[in-house]
Amino acid sequence: MRILFFNYEFPPLGGGAGNASFYLLREYAKNSDLEVDFVTASVDGQYHLLKMGENVNIHRLPIGKNAENIHYQTKKDLILYTWKAYWFSRKLAKKNQYDLSHSFFSVPCGAISLLLKWEFKLPYIVSLRGSDVPGYSERFVGLYRWITPTILKIWKNAFFVVANSQGLKELAVKSEPKKEIGVIYNGVDVKEFVADPSKRNPEHFTIICVSRVTPRKGIRFLIQAFKMLSGRYDNVQLLIVGDGNEKKSLEDLVRSLEIENRVEFAGAIDHTNVLAYYQRADVFVLPSLNEGMSNVMLEALAVGLPVVATDTGGTKELLTDNVNGLVVKMKDSNDLAEKIEKLIVNDELRKTMSLESRKLAERMSWEKVAGEYVELYKKIDNSRKMKG
């Protein structure tokens, strides 16, 4: 089967969806029955063609990205990607006989798949990632008002629509109850992400948050909670890994709370190097206001970290309260401090939760995720053959 695959994010560009694309493509590269052209955005002003195995081509199209804006996509970036990716993929579709297209995100990528369906009768799958579902992000409240009809049209014309968590599916169904929406979870590489106790400093209790540094992630409330904890415990440290448009504001907050000697902003770390940061930590915290299925939480589970997180989106499928972590109230610094403190003072609880986290991660793999998508591809292929 020949697949045309779209996602404007791909490492080092973007976040969880980009990483998910990377791992999926890595699995596809092992499958000789697939030929994949993956169309994404370049990290500079040039077009790049990369190979993954013999059967996966990665086309990076220039959309004006550079080192300063690599982890944050503006509306201009998305519009430019849509325009360039459509015309580029149209040329590919005229040259190659594709069986289907697969888009991560309803918009902008799903719009490209829809246009290709109209012109080339090419069926498509849309993978919902979070912000492309109406009602997911406070940041896009105004945008959802006028873009929702387009999103619903993209879903209606898709052969399959797939959410990455049950929570995201439930949110999507609120906008379009008539559309059947499946669920394929994100995966994690449990061979790559493993614990290494020797990397921890026994004199410190390290709290880690790996995330885009944006208001939606709720990191401000974690910092406020950490201020309370730092007054009670001399050994606590906070490690924030990631970049985003709230970073400067949060650095200012840390200075105003006079805890800058206890908080480390590691910035954007290449995904191939992020494991060492997880391995330094004792607990992973994600106080997000909304999530799909968090890749970073899956990675933290694989490294055996107890998780403290808000009950939103796909979190309930990765975190069982008092089993492998603790659920916290949203936008509540006091509750965050209280729950993290339970893990600071109780070594046995932390060790038990660590084992449960690893057990859960071992049941989720990218090989399994890729296999589930390939089954959907086969269903589309069989349907076309029956009609033909």
168-194: pLDDT as tens digits: 999 999 999 999 999 999 999 999 999
Among residues 274, 298, 312, the alpha carbon closest in space to that of 187 is found at 298
**Cα separations (Å) of 241 from 9, 20, 248?**
19, 18, 14
Whether 41 contacts 63, CB under 8 Å: yes
What pLDDT was estimated at residue 388?
A: 62
What pLDDT was estimated at residue 142?
A: 76
Cis peptide before 62 (omega within 30 of 0): no
First to last CA, the chain: 16
Which residue ranges of the chain lie beneath pLDDT 50? none
Report the chain's C-alpha Rg in angstroms: 21
What pLDDT was estimated at residue 210?
A: 96
Helix (H) or strand (E) holding 385: helix 366-387
Q: In the chain, where are the structural domains located?
A: 2-187+365-387, 197-362
197-362, what's its fold?
A: Rossmann fold (3.40.50)
Mean pLDDT computed over every residue of the chain: 94
Helix (H, G, I), strand (E, B), or coil: what is residue 284? strand
Taking the C-alpha atoms of residue 314 and residue 130, their distance in angstroms, rounded to an integer, is 10
CB count within 10 Å of CB 4 equals 25
Q: In percent, how much of the chain has pLDDT > 90? A: 82
What pLDDT was estimated at residue 316?
A: 85
Query: In this structure, which amino acid lies at residue 131?
Result: S
What pLDDT was estimated at residue 2?
A: 98
CATH class assigned to 2-187+365-387: alpha beta
HSE, side-chain direction, 13 A CA sphere, residue 242: 22
What pLDDT was estimated at residue 111?
A: 97
Counting every residue written for the chain, the total comes to 388
327-356: pLDDT as tens digits: 999 999 999 999 999 999 999 999 999 999
| Residue indicated by tokens 């888009």 | 103
Sorted by sequence, the CB contacts under 8 Å of residue 370 that are 6+ apart come out as: 24, 27, 28, 31
228-273: pLDDT as tens digits: 999 999 999 999 999 989 999 999 999 999 999 999 999 999 888 9
